[in-house]
Structure 1
């Protein structure tokens, strides 16, 4: 081992009165024997050094697990529940959207014949997570005036069926007149590239539903684009 000593000058002769014949250290490099390494004995507080084969740690794990080696080792594992919370919910989940499936005029019911394009629009809403609800709508007579004091068909149907909106292919004779009294009615024209058709939809809602109607239209447009991007459709 190399020890670098202090390089300050020192006397060559020993001081008077000293009996040590050993020469004092001089500046420079002095060789000394290396320190004897300390040999550490084996440790018995950990199982690693005592294991010689793969079988040894296997037996140790069995002993620590508490299973009887002569008994069955397999245990029943409960099934892992599917984590539905981690899945993203559809955009229109919990939405209820009504459409006039029948009209009531002078106490007589009239079935509404919807075009295939409108039925496809309802399928788009269902695919986005909405519950599509057919409703019976009351048709006013030709002399009726839409006022806030009169019976409001939009309010009646929304309350009866707990709806978030109403949808119609074209201006609904049962709902459209109430748009003049402050109720939101939004017309949107969508181009269905999948079928090469044009879809004209009217969305109606309660007075407070103006912002939600805008969100509904955006989701519908995105859902149509998603359908168009699916191969084979």
Structure 2
């Protein structure tokens, strides 16, 4: 595992810049050596997403003043397909999984995570401010980054083990808590934009998508924009 206090060239999907100021957020990479696997590598991203959501929710519940009523966090954290972590309706973090392969074997994988923890809203660059948040921005309380990291590692160990034993369970758990599933969305792909309903995930972690025409397809990658009913 590698943990950084800041990043000079943090990046997300498609090489997009990931704002990484020092001393406030989590920037970590977990190095994996899975060898020969029977599941699609994209499912590692789902496992990491579940771990991040589980860890953050656990910290929200135990943090003084940040938890909600009757054991429910005061803010809602959930995974957005394909690799984002959202808090309420803004981006809290993201997962970037990369692999080095040789024939049928994965030499190693790196699951990188960025989670906005104690970053204040006024420190977020204007270009990112509308769609970006942090735990501090949502709750008004600072969080112990070390404790969040420990929770992430504990959760990831469980979900990664489950992935080898029962990958379908990982997919089902992800679908259960993601707002993407059963939502009306816009899918931005290299071929263009499409509107329709996100139905679920297939056994590779690809998005099952029903176009407005009724045709059902699977998307291996896309930018998903959640739309409200009045946007139909």
| TM tier relative to shorter chain | under 0.3
Question: If the length of structure 1 is used for normalisation, what is the TM-score?
Answer: 0.19
Per residue, is there more strand in 1 or in 2? 2
